[in-house]
Amino acid sequence: SCRTFSAIAAVENINTIVTGELISLSEQEPIDCDTTYSQGCNDYYKDYDFQFIIDNEGINIEHDYPYMVVVGVCNVTK
């Protein structure tokens, strides 16, 4: 999950630079839901997290999909 934290932090930082607003995004969502590229915690490529966000046209905020320290079941209701 370390790679997910760094990828999400990069997206949060870019968003803050562009909008001036810091929004905490979900690290858990790509861990649980990205079955195409990363399959939970089984890879080390941040690019997969970026592609997940692009493919899904965004990502939930941390409050709506909090980090749970385990690979869980995808629970996205966008």
On the CB side of 18, CA atoms within 13 Å amount to 7
Q: Which pLDDT score is estimated for 36?
A: 78
What is the residue extent of each domain of the chain? Answer: 1-78
Distances, alpha carbon 40 to alpha carbons 3, 48, 52, 57, in Å: 11, 11, 12, 19
- pTM, two decimals, is 0.82
Pick the CATH number of 1-78 from 2.130.10.10, 3.90.70.10, 3.40.50.300, 3.40.50.1970: 3.90.70.10
Q: Residue 75's pLDDT band (boundaries 50, 70, 90)? A: confident
| pLDDT, tens digit (0-9, with 9 covering 90-100), for 15-58 | 999 999 999 999 999 988 887 766 555 556 678 889 999 999 99
- pLDDT for res 48: 84
